[in-house]
Amino acid sequence: MKKIVLNYLFIVTIIAIVIFFYFLKFTYTGQYFTYKTFDGNHLHLISGNRELFWFDVMHLNDANHPMFKRIENKFIDFNPDLILVEGGYNTFEGNRDEAIFAGESAFATYLAKQNGVQVEDIEPPLPEQIAYLQTKYNPEKILAMYHIRQITSIRFMPIDADFNFDSYLTIETQTLISNGLNVRSNSLNEILNIINSYLPQNIDAESFKYTNSKDLYKIYACENSALYPVYNDLVNFRNIYLIDLIRKKQDKYSKIFIVMGGQHLLDTKSQLKKIYSRKGT
């Protein structure tokens, strides 16, 4: 009897170990999230001769990951006449490997350009985003939100050995300033001081490599965080723009293919369904 119990415990232990390593492989690894949607938290809407397919993605640049092949397969199957991507990646130019390394939006743009399909940005232009936020928040707070949000996205993915954190911060700050952000202090030390004023532990080019993306995410995405109001207002502003854009594009394009993160899909799904339930489209 004792031997049977021991054998049973051994089997249970082995199963537990297998489940544990499966969890590590297919969920959070400590470096980045693997793609979580394999069979479709996507959205497919049809109204008359008009269709929309939203491919729900996570931010990745792993060339071996199945997400990219699935995007390509769905692109071929759906055969769109318009692709909408986020983050300004509709301007991407490069080969397939460079596109994947730049992420899923760049890859969708690559597919569009290879196949002669129109591709556009689904987000409001950066000057409009900044102008809107500056009616409500000071420029330093806006700068911190943009930087910490982008650093979080970078930490979700394997980091390029040639990635220069300091150059990234200064270049991105200049981009925000050139698009209307009224930040007076733009030296590297001043930028770091602004960012670190919102972080529990200071970040720099070295410590950035070991910063946990989940901890960074909480800084702006949790309701009780100091940067959440800025982030939430920006998300809502982007979603309003998105819905208005789809209304306009639906009249011009018969098959719209969207490559964008799932949170925006959750936020706008009910409105999109209303757009594609209109009579006579």
On whether the CB atoms of residues 156 and 32 are closer than 8 A, the answer is yes
Residue-level pLDDT at 181 = 97
One domain for residues 18 and 151 = no
Same structural domain, 47 and 118: yes
Residue 170: inside a domain, yes or no? Answer: yes
Q: Which domain holds residue 179?
A: 139-220
Q: Is residue 105 part of a domain?
A: yes
**Sheet of 82-85: strands edge to edge?**
43-47, 50-57, 255-261, 82-85, 118-121
Q: Pick the residue with more confidence: 3 or 251? A: 251
Instruction: Give dist(CA 68, CA 104) in Å, integer.
Output: 7
| pLDDT for 56 | 87
The CATH number linked to 80 is 3.40.50
- Determine the pLDDT at residue 143: 97
Question: Does 228 reside within a domain?
Answer: no
Q: Evaluate whether residue 117 is within a structural domain.
A: yes
114 with 241, same domain: the answer is yes
- Same domain for 153 and 110: no
The answer to whether residues 194 and 76 belong to one domain is: no
For 73-107, the pLDDT digits (tens) are 999 999 999 999 998 889 999 999 999 988 899 99
> How confident is residue 157, by pLDDT bands cut at 50, 70 and 90?
low
Q: Is the pTM of this model over 0.95?
A: no
Residue 165 belongs to a domain = yes
* Tens digit of each residue's pLDDT (9 = 90 or more) over 207-218: 888 888 888 889
Same domain, 107 and 238: yes
Clarify whether residues 55 and 119 are in a common domain: yes
The 3-state secondary structure of 142-208 reads HHHHHHHHHHHHHHHCCCCCCCCHHHHHHHHHHHHHHCCCCCCCCCHHHHHHHHHCCCCCCCCCCHH
Largest CA distance in the chain: 77
Strands 50-57, 43-47: pairing kind: antiparallel
* 132: in domain: no
Examine residue 104 and state whether it is found in any structural domain, yes or no: yes
62 lies in the same domain as 83:
yes
19 pLDDT band (50/70/90 cuts)?
Answer: very low
Instruction: Name the token pair of 103.
Output: 């992420």
> How many domains, the chain?
3
- Residue pair 195/146 in contact (Cβ under 8 Å)? The answer is no
**Would the pLDDT of 119 be above 80?**
yes
Tokens 């544990």 identify what position?
20
Residue 56 lies in a domain: yes
Segment (H or E) for 141 = helix 139-156
Cα dihedral 28, 29, 30, 36 sign: negative
Shared domain check, 118 and 62: yes
Which burial class, exposed, middle or buried, applies to 12 when counting CB atoms under 10 A from its CB (0-12, 13-18, 19+)?
Answer: exposed
Cα(89)–Cα(99) distance, rounded to whole angstroms? 10
Residue 82: name the closest of 59, 37, 113 by CA: 113
